[in-house]
Amino acid sequence: MAFLASVNVMLKEGIADPQGQTIERALPALGFSGVEEVRVGKRIRLLVDASDEHDARRQVEDMCERLLANPVIESYEVIVES
Amino acid sequence: MAFLASVNVMLKEGIADPQGQTIERALPALGFSGVEEVRVGKRIRLLVDASDEHDARRQVEDMCERLLANPVIESYEVIVES
Amino acid sequence: MTTATSLHRDLGLTDDEFQQICDHLGREPSYTELAMFSVMWSEHCSYKSSRGHLKTLPTEGPHILVGPGEGAGIIEVAPGVAVAWKAESHNHPSFVEPFNGAATGVGGIVRDILSMGARPIALMDPLRFGTLDDARTRYLVDGVVHGISSYGNSIGVPTVGGEAIFEECYAENPLVNVACLGVIEDRLMHGRAEGPGNVAILIGSSTGRDGIGGASVLASAEFDETSAEKRPSVQVGDPFAEKLLIEACLELIARGVFVALQDLGAGGISCPTSEMTSKANTGMRVDIDRVHRREPGMEPFEVMISESQERMLAVVEPARVDEVLDVCRKWEIEANVVGEVTPSDRVEVVSDGEVVADVPADALAEEGPVYERHLERPGWIDRLQMEDPGDAAPDRLEDAFFAVLSSPNIASKRWIWEQYDHMIFLGTLQGPGGDAAVIRLPNSDVRVAITTDGPGRYCYLDPYEGARLAVAESARNVACVGARPLAVTNCLNFGNPEKPDVMWQFAEVIRGMGDACRSLVTPVTGGNVSFYNETKGRAIYPTPVIGMLGSIPEGVPARGLAFVSDNEPIVLLGRTDDNDLGGSEFAKTVHGVVAGRPPRLDIEAEARLIDLLVELRDLASSAHDPSAGGLAVALAEAAVVGGRGFKLGPRNGELHRWLFSESPSRALVTCRPDDVEEVLERADRNGVPAEVIGTTGGDVLGFAGCDIPLTSVTEVYEGALVETLSSSID
Amino acid sequence: MSGRVGIVVFPGSNCERDCEKAFRDLGAEPVMVWHGDRVLPDVDIVVLPGGFAHGDYLRTGALARFSPIMSAVRSHSGSGGLTIGICNGFQILCEAGMLPGALRKNTGLKFMCRTTRLRVANAETAFTSRADEGQVLRIPINHFEGNWYCSEDTLVSLQAKGQIVLTYLENPNGSFADVAGIVNEDGTVFGLMPHPERACEELLGSEDGAVILGSMLDHVTKRVAV
Ligand SMILES: Nc1ncnc2c1ncn2[C@@H]1O[C@H](COP(=O)(O)OP(=O)(O)O)[C@@H](O)[C@H]1O
Ligand SMILES: [Mg+2]
């Protein structure tokens, strides 16, 4: 049975995020004031074949650990829809 | 008042996604069979100062239209938490 | 001041060093002071194990304007034209996080060059990894190359060459060295905080908790399982910020605003504040509340040793502060006055009006501990040198040839260097793929040649000979492209210096490097020492990477390694010793052996060959030195790159010895048929043995008695590395 | 031959000096223009050079299109002046909507610096007049995001109107229909991934880039002469 999973991969707290900082610096010039703490990460969507939702989550978390995220600098969260 | 907003930017359906394909090709070697339609996009999180949730969403959608996404190849969704 | 005892051990300081600190201060250090000492007295910053040995290196010469001790060596390559040349290592950070480790390594060496007032114009990346059958290694290779590519390309500095060598011993200690060439555009800068009353301005990225104890601690403590805990201190590079920093600083240097300039690297802001004042016999009062921060709630000690990237500290006369701030504003880069030069000889750190550190600058920068580490020639090396070097004849010569050619150490590194912008500045007259890169300096016709070489295997078999061979090969490589070798920078990668055999290897390498540099008159203008490249007690091969710089007179035609036209005589210069197979690529790939003695070097013969190669600028249509893989590989490279084969005359004796021997002091040159007599005559005049061994042309590699089609050779040479890496994962 | 060339410098541009040298060697008069300025000096040609305008974070060229100078560049091309966007400049022109399509990551997911062979698909433009239709040019590429994309319909109309100017002989990056360079409908704005300024000197391996830069100079000097 196929489950649709989404993974959000973001840089860990405290790790510098030049992308976010650059966007943040640019926004006021575009007329957006009052925007803070911009962080840029990755969003990954995939279809995973699993016996049940729990199994799907387990598989995707495993993928994150081994491939999708870089545990040294990134943290991730997994969302599974059925 | 500050709202925490998340933006998911993905390549439009039908536009080839080499990053997704690379991951899809790599997964079997790591023992993950039955994974399909992997798509890789961006996730942007930010704090926006707004009068209310509606206003926050409006601002962030505006940012997407003008900067965060490229309408030619990308679609986006905005999530606002309070 | 809150003081701190016993904590010093966690910070990597010995009890004895802690006592010395107390003696310097006449009291126990505060927490902030202890942190400052811990980074400044780390092996990485203080060279406490190596200083004594480094002193023996030749550092002076007519072309050397600035030797070791500053951000980079400065060499006069033509009348009134000066370049900066320096190498650095970023080994441990790159093992922990390959992409960012390598990227910030590039950023660091570029700021070293910038601190001299030079515009960085070329990079080289000598790399060492484990073997590619290991997935983790493939991941490291991919990440490191991507990191260098992404950082170097976006700051707009071409990466024009390097090395990529794969050996088991580097599996858990990859070496990521980077060398950078810069050109002085307006004026040479010095890191001397002259003039009490002048102010210190911190320019660049905001300060976060990046690499608290990062490089210093990481680079000064042996790796083990616990290193995982150090991981959060990974630093992320911001090439865009670096680009702005470069442009802003160069504009300010051109305006003559800076009294002094220094980069912030290992040791954070503790480093320039103490080093610049120590050099000038001044002091500095630092108000760290004015350091722009990325994170709230940082402790004073964190600000003082944070290794946040892309920052420089400038000393400026008060009257010109606004000018500095304006230029930085234009370049959209932050800058703040954070301190003042004082007549005292102390670095005072103030936070919330409270003095949190008050230390003699010399104590931090100059008077760190120096160790005469115990060294001892290990018994194993005698046994190793006695062993069979693996020089037995192969079953089939052709198989051996392809085995060697397809070794990742030999095969084309195109997969790597095509990921690097190696063309920007329109100065890369010869890029990656040759013996040395040839760079035409911006807005001039002055040309310099640069290369890096570090035969770890030879140094493992005999560190003294290996180091001499490294210097000889690098000099030969620049001579091959027609340049006169001028000066050396280096990156010395070793295991744990607290072990007598590692320290012996280090001492021997220094001795060999010094002797060779003296003989070839190529002084050492600076470099970098990286110890503790050791995991679970297993050390890397002693790996001195020599960065050689040479100059080419204006108007000399660029000369590559490729056979450029058919029917040209191929002349082999120098003597081939059939027994120089110890530590060779043949022995390793065909017999799986690394033993015996490395090739024998006659440095005088090397010097004569170099003179000849330089003299042959006008006659030789190509030149290439047989190094790893010997004549067989050198001939194959010249054929593949030139797109034409060759035919050798018959030979007697064991062909595999002649073809794969790695005897130094040799080069292959080609020339027009009418010129061959002249070439041989000049060789004779220079006392260099010379022999016509064949002619160019055709579509086969005609090794005496064994013809191999050029197409299949090209396929293997160009494809081998890509194939082994293709299973690599982004 | 003369011709005034304004080279726009964004904070992260890094090919501006190379463009300056190439145009000067061809006899033109290049001047640098800061991206923060609102007016262009009196120039016949505007160059958006290669580099990483604002670090190319988020998307290449995404921020550059908001630079104050860009409206001046628009009116320059609106009034018939020539504009060339090289590499990052091409990306900026697409982001700014001055050229159709968008540039994605190379299919190989690797940065590529190599000399490519290009076919001149339209030699009638102000940017290719020195070339013959079908002529093959050797010019280096140097990018991570050169994989050009547009919709099928857009492509059809571009082809119909001869707006596809350069195509790759060996497609290096997955670009749609092998496209390497395109012009706008008026033929005044040209965007291409390859770097002609890197191929204007025999010492550097090719002089084919001068075909493109020289064509532009021919065009503007003719116009000036008239
Ligand atoms: N990591 C790298 N980055 C860039 N260029 C490289 C790299 N590794 C090897 N090269 C290039 O490949 C060519 C062959 O390298 P090498 O075999 O070390 O040359 P040599 O034997 O003459 O010292 C050189 O031009 C070198 O610059
Ligand atoms: Mg060589």
Q: Tell me the mean pLDDT in the region C184-211.
A: 92
Higher pLDDT among residues C133 and C228, named by residue: C133
Residue-wise pLDDT tens digits, C208-242: 888 775 433 433 444 444 443 433 467 889 999 99
The closest alpha carbon to C112, from C547, C433, C444, belongs to: C547
- Nearest-Cα distance to chain A for D70, in Å, is 14
* pLDDT for D1: 52
Return d(Cα C369, Cα D103) in angstroms, integer: 55
Which of A22, A36, A46 is the best substitution to test chain B (most B C-beta atoms within 10 A)? A46
Q: Find out whether the beta carbon of C161 lies less than 6 Å from any atom of ligand 1.
A: yes
Whole-number pLDDT of residue A72: 86
Neighbours of C122 (CB within 10 A): 29
pLDDT above 70 for C514: yes
Backbone angles phi, psi at C519, to 5 degrees: -65, -40
Give the model confidence (pLDDT) of C652-687 as tens digits.
Answer: 889 999 999 999 999 999 999 999 999 999 999 999
Of D11, D36, D203, the CB nearest to C244: D11
What is the pLDDT, as a whole number, of residue C652?
Answer: 86
**E strand or H helix at C539, and its extent?**
strand C538-539
The predicted-structure confidence for C416-454, as pLDDT tens digits, reads as follows: 999 999 999 999 999 999 999 999 999 898 999 999 999
Q: Which of C219, C185, A7 is nearest to B19 (CA)?
A: A7
Give the number of residues written for chain A.
82
CB distance C211 to C306 below 8 Å: yes
| CB within 8 Å: C97 and A72 | yes
| Across D37-49, average pLDDT | 97
CA distance C79 to C442: 16
Asked whether the beta carbons of C613 and C480 are under 8 A apart, the reply is: yes
Chain A: give the shortest CA distance to residue C156, in Å. Answer: 18
Please name the residue of chain A whose CA is at the shortest distance from the CA of residue C230: A72
Residue C416 CB less than 6 A away from ligand 1: yes
- What is the band of A53 on the pLDDT scale with cuts at 50, 70, 90? very high
Please identify which residue in the block is written with the tokens 């943040």. A24
* Of A63-77, C99-113, C626-640, the least confident: A63-77
CA dist C586 and C598 (Å) reads 13
Contact residues for B53 (Cβ-Cβ < 8 A; gap 6+) = B3, B80, B82
Estimate the crossing angle of helix C135-155 against helix C98-115, to 10 degrees.
40
Provide ipTM, 2 decimals.
0.94
C84, two tokens: 């900066």
Q: Do C155 and D14 touch (CB under 8 A)?
A: yes
From atom 27 of ligand 1, which residue's Cα is the shortest distance away? C161
- What is the pLDDT, as a whole number, of residue C727? 57
pLDDT digits (tens, 9 = 90+) for A32-47: 989 999 999 999 999 9
User: Tell me, what's the pLDDT at C8?
Assistant: 81
The DSSP-derived string for C478-511 is HHHTTPEEEEEEEEEE-S-TTSHHHHHHHHHHHH
Cβ neighbours of residue C575 under 8 Å, at least 6 residues apart? C605, C663, C665, C666, C689
Rounded-to-integer distance, Cα C363 and Cα C666, Å = 49
| Whole-number pLDDT of residue C230 | 38
C612 touches C557 (CB < 8 A): no
C165 Cβ below 6 A of ligand 1: no
C-beta atoms surrounding A12 within 10 Å: 15
Kindly state if the Cβ of C627 falls inside 6 Å of ligand 1: yes
> Taking each helix axis from N to C terminus, what angle separates C270-280 and C31-40, rounded to the nearest 10 degrees?
80
d(CA D12, CA D49): 10
- Strands ordered across the beta sheet of C667-670: C622-624, C667-670, C569-573, C690-696, C646-648, C700-703, C706-709
Token readout for C252 is 């300010």
Place of tokens 């800058």: C335
Ligand 1 binding pocket mutation candidate from C410, C417, C458, C480 (most atoms within 8 A of CB): C417
8 Å CB contact of A73 and C100: yes
**Residues of C with catalytic annotation?**
44, 90
pLDDT-derived band at C5 (thresholds 50, 70, 90) equals low
Q: What sections of C434-584 are H helices per DSSP?
A: 456-461, 463-480, 500-520
Q: Give chain D as a DSSP string.
A: ---EEEEEE-TTB-SHHHHHHHHHHTT-EEEEEETT-SS--S-SEEEE-SB-TTTT-SSTTTTGGGSTHHHHHHHHHHTT-EEEEETHHHHHHHHTTSSSSEEE--TT-S-EEEEEEEEES--SSTTTTTSPTT-EEEEEEEES--EEE--HHHHHHHHHTT-EEEEESS-SS--GGGEEEEE-TTS-EEEESS-GGGSSBGGGTB-THHHHHHHHHHHHHHHHH-
pLDDT tens for residues C517-565? 999 999 999 999 999 999 988 999 999 999 999 999 877 777 899 999 9
CA distance C132 to C441: 37
Q: What pLDDT band is residue D223 in, cutting at 50, 70 and 90?
A: low
pLDDT tens digits for C566-575? 999 999 999 9
C722 touches chain D (CB under 8 A): no
| Known active-site residue D207 | no
Question: Of D19, D87, D94, D150, which one is the catalytic site residue?
Answer: D87
Q: Is pLDDT at A59 greater than 90 in this prediction? A: yes
Which residues are CB-contacts of C11 (< 8 A; sequence separation ≥ 6)? Answer: C34, C35, C38, C213, C217
Beta-strand runs (E) in C343-453: 346-351, 354-360, 428-430, 437-440, 447-453
DSSP-derived secondary structure for C368-394: -----------HHHHHHHHS--S-PPP
Binning pLDDT at 50, 70 and 90, where does residue C360 land?
Answer: very high
**Residue C176 CB–ligand 1 contact under 6 Å:** no
Region B49-62 average pLDDT:
95
In angstroms, the CA A44 to CA B40 distance is: 5
Tens of pLDDT, residue by residue over D151-187, are 999 999 999 999 999 999 999 999 999 999 999 999 9
| Best mutation site among C159, C163, C666, C718 for ligand 1 pocket (most ligand atoms within 8 Å of CB) | C163
In this prediction, residue C7 carries a pLDDT of 77
When mean pLDDT is compared across C295-304, C336-345, D193-202, the lowest value belongs to C295-304
Cα separation, C553 vs C563, in Å, equals: 23
What pLDDT does residue C223 have? 45
Buried b (16+ CB within 10 A) or exposed e, C282-291: bbbbbbbeeb
Gap between the Cα atoms of C653 and C635, Å rounded: 19
Q: Do residues C674 and C479 make contact, with C-beta atoms less than 8 angstroms apart?
A: no
Percent of chain D with pLDDT over 90: 92
pLDDT in tens, C362-401: 999 999 899 999 999 999 999 999 999 999 999 999 999 9
pLDDT tops 60 at residue C81: yes
C570 alpha carbon, distance to own chain's centre: 33
Mean per-residue pLDDT, C606-619: 96
